[in-house]
Amino acid sequence: MKKRILSGIQPSGEGIFTLGNYIGAIRNWDIMQEEYECAYFIADLHSLTVRQDPATLKKQSLSAFALLLACGIDPEKSLLFIQSHVESHAELAWILNCYSQIGELSRMTQFKDKSSQHADNINAGLFTYPALMAADILLYQADLVPVGADQKQHLEFTRDVATRFNNLYGETFKIPDAYIPKAGAKVMSLQEPAKKMSKSDENKNATVLLLDDPAVIMNKFKRAVTDSEKEIVFRKGKDGINNLMTIYGVLADKTNEEIEKEFAGKGYGDFKTAVGETVADALAPVRAEYARLIADKAYLEKQILEGAQKARAISWKTLRKARKRVGLLELPRS
């Protein structure tokens, strides 16, 4: 049997998904569905830890769903659903909250980072975010979870809580392992290449969005920060060039050595143009397919409903087992 792999992505932020999301995660989702039994979801409940405009969140959730389809997620091969449409996530999150320790949650780096970013809204949901993430994973008995460096801690938390629960009540949850792509796992800001590319970056030139027009993409790469040297080579201290080489290498399927040889004797301007063109070309089919899908409301609604129904059926099996383990009374059948 194929191993099950699960991943979610938030729909919040202008432009929905970035080039970093695409290279680090979504691009691999398309590839992985051939090798694994895949489950992907729009993590709209997680988005609520930050104040959202209701109408905007609804629109972005629909756009995110359509964009994943446009990126190659096939609902005939993979499970694709919206998190809030599957009630099991919230219920299991509460149960797992009761098996999560305050000390564990308070050590989460992301909680500390988000608290400093949103000092006016340090809410309980932000603090217990890892329990909901654990529920997302454990409900589907996932074998593997694609994680970036900033999510490793949350996966370790999930493993710890699942192990604690299993030790108390018997085998209930599968203990998931991390899946880390070999290349392109982390794309950095085009303006501050020492930090990760983010859709929340106030500098619009720092982030490439999947739905950016080709001209916009080219302009952003032409303005990308590099260094005062002239050599296109991957080495410590050349964060900007290293980032551009990572992006180009993944999308053009070339090694650093091949890139260095290709651009030997050429300037940064030539290299930036080549990277920009490669990115624009790679995203062109995605933009075209997204435009087609977002215009077909009936098709999207059908896929959203079918995805929710499948996810409910799978997740309920795990939730029912967990409910029994902790002693919750089952509802009598009518």
- Residue pair 131/93 in contact by the 8 Å Cβ criterion: yes
- Residue pair 73/39 in contact by the 8 Å Cβ criterion: no
Which residues make Cβ contacts (< 8 Å) with residue 224, sequence separation at least 6?
190, 191, 240, 243, 244, 272, 275
Query: Choosing from 114, 220, 238, 272, which is the catalytic residue?
Result: 114
CA separation for the pair 17, 9 (Å, rounded): 9
Residue 238 is a catalytic residue? no
Which residues make Cβ contacts (< 8 Å) with residue 78, sequence separation at least 6?
29, 33, 38, 39, 40
Which 8-state DSSP code applies to residue 188? Answer: B
Residue the block writes with tokens 């991390």: 178
Residue 236 is a catalytic residue? no
Residue 196 is a catalytic residue? yes
Q: Angle formed by the axes of helices 297-326 and 268-294, to 10°?
A: 90
CA separation for the pair 276, 278 (Å, rounded): 5
Reduce the DSSP state of residue 315 to 3 states and report it.
helix
| Euclidean distance between the first and the last CA atom of the chain, given in angstroms as a whole number | 37
Sequence letter at residue 99: Y
Which 8-state DSSP code applies to residue 23? Answer: I
Sequence letter at residue 8: G
Query: Choosing from 199, 254, 310, 321, which is the catalytic residue?
Result: 199
Active-site residue list: 114, 196, 199
